[in-house]
Amino acid sequence: MNDSIDHGSPVKPPEYRQVVTPSDPLGTYDLGSKAEFWRLFWHPVCTLHELRAHCSGGRGPLQTTLLGERILVVDMGGAVRAFSDHCPHRGSSLSLGWLEKDTIRCRYHGWCFDSTGVCTEVPSLGAGEAIPARARLSTYDCQVAYDLVWVRMDGSAKTEIPRFPAWGDESQVCIMGQPYLWPASAGRRVENFIDVSHFPYTHQGTLGAPPLTQFPTFAVDQIAGELRWKTETFLAFNPGDATYGPPAGPDSTMLPPATYIVGMPLTVVLIFNWSKDKATQIFMHPTPIDSENCRSYWFTCHTADGSTDEEHLALQSIVLTEDLPVVASHLPRAIGQLRDEVSVPADKPVVFWRRWLWELIRASEDGGTAVRGALSVERIESELEVGV
Ligand code: FES
Ligand SMILES: [Fe+2]
C-alpha cells in the first residue's frame, strides 16, 4: 500500500449518521415546504476544522448530510468542493475512498474523479475502451466563510452567504463552538433562538425568572433579506461584571439591549450591546440534515476584554442544555401551519419570521428569480440602528 495515499477513515462517522432516520427522509419541511426550497440557500455542512481533522492529509474526503442527501466534501484542485456522495458506477459512497493528488478514488471498483467531477480513470477498462460520458459526479456550489464549509445545492435564486462583519475584525475575539445535532427541524431551532418569552422559564436562573415575564413589543423590520429587531434588557442572574459566566447568585442584574438579525431564512445573529464600545455577537445557523433533524453551527465574537474562551463557552453550554429537551419535544418536529398553534403578541418575531418564510416558499414555486424578489420585499416598522 502506498503510504502517501490517505485511504480515509470510514470508522469516523459524524454523529448524525446515528440519528434515527425519519420515516420519510424527503418529507415535509417547515410550513409544508419541500427540500427543493431549502436547496436554494447556503448552509454550513461542516466546520473547516472537521474537514482538516478528518483524514491525515487534512483535505478529506468527509461525508456530511444536507437535506437528506449524502454530501462529499473534499479539498481538491486548490479549493474545498462539494459533490453528491454517490459514485455513478454503483452508487457507493465516495467518501469511503481516498485522494490521490487531485483526484478521488472510489473504494469499491477504483474509479477516479477529478476536481470538476469528471471520471478520469476506470481501472477495469481494456485498451481502447472509452470512459462513459455519464461517469461524472454531481457538483454543488461550495465556499468557505467564517471557518465553515457552506454548500448551496441549487444556485437558481443567486442567494448569498449571510453577512457577519465581526468575523475578521481585529478588535473582536471569535470562538468557534462545537456544532450540535438536535432532533428538531431547522425552523424550530430558529424560532427557539429568537424567542425571548421563554427566558424566565426554560432559562430560569440563567437568563431570567418570574415575575419578570413581560417584554415590550418590538418594532420588527424586514429589510435587505434580513428580519431585524431590538430588545430592551433581559433579567439575568450574573451580578456585577461577571456577564459571561454561569449564574453566580441571586443578585440579579440586567443583560444589555440586544439586536436580533435573521438572515432569511435560517441564519440568526444576536448582538448584546454592553456599551457603546463593547458587544458580544452570537452567530447560529441550523442546517437541515433532513426535515426533522438539524445540526447547528455557531460561533461567538466579542470585543477583546480579557475574558476567556471558557467563560463564553460555559454560558452557551448551560443555555443549550436548558433548551434541548424543550426543542426536541415539539410535535410535529417540523413547523406546521400557524393556525394549528396558538400565538400571542410576545410571539411577534416568530410570527413575522413565519410570514416571510411562507412568502419565500410560495415564491419558490415561480422559480429562483421570484425568490430573490420575495427576499427583497421591505417592511419597516422603525428605523433601526443595527450596530454592525
Ligand atoms: S461503485 Fe464506485 S467504482 Fe464502482
Ligand atoms: Fe433558549
Q: 244: alpha, beta or left, given left = phi > 0 and alpha = psi -120 to 50?
A: alpha
Q: Is 110 in the same domain as 182?
A: no
Q: Is 193 in the same domain as 138?
A: no
State which residues have CB under 5 angstroms from ligand 2, the bound ion. Answer: 323
Cell of 14: 459524524
Q: Is 227 in the same domain as 350?
A: yes
Domain boundaries, position 348: 172-375
The pLDDT of residue 7 = 52
From the CA of 110, give the closest atom in ligand 1.
3
Ligand nearest to the CA of 125: 1
The pLDDT of residue 257 = 83
Flag whether 48 is in a domain. yes
- Section 274-283 average pLDDT: 88
pTM above 0.85, yes or no: yes
pLDDT at 381 over 70: yes
Q: Is 368 in the same domain as 233?
A: yes
- Give how far the C-alpha of residue 252 lies from the chain's centroid of Cα atoms, to the nearest Å: 33
Ligand nearest to the CA of 92: 1
* 106 within ligand 1 shell (Cβ under 6 A): yes
More confident residue, 78 or 203: 78
Domain count across the chain: 2
Flag whether 17 is in a domain. no
Q: Which residue in the block uniquely carries the three cell numbers 426550497?
A: 37
DSSP 319: H
The pLDDT of residue 210 = 74
Report the CATH number at residue 343: 3.90.380.10
More confident residue, 46 or 309: 46
- Section 64-82 average pLDDT: 95
Of 113-127, 204-218, 356-370, the one with minimum mean pLDDT is 204-218
Q: Is 103 in the same domain as 186?
A: no
Residue (of 298, 321, 318) closest to 238 by Cα position: 318
- How many Å apart are CA 261 and CA 204, to the nearest integer? 24
From the CA of 90, give the closest atom in ligand 1.
1
Flag whether 128 is in a domain. yes
* 111 within ligand 1 shell (Cβ under 6 A): yes
Mutational pocket test of ligand 1: of 83, 100, 104, 111, the residue with most ligand atoms within 8 Å of the beta carbon: 111
Flag whether 129 is in a domain. yes
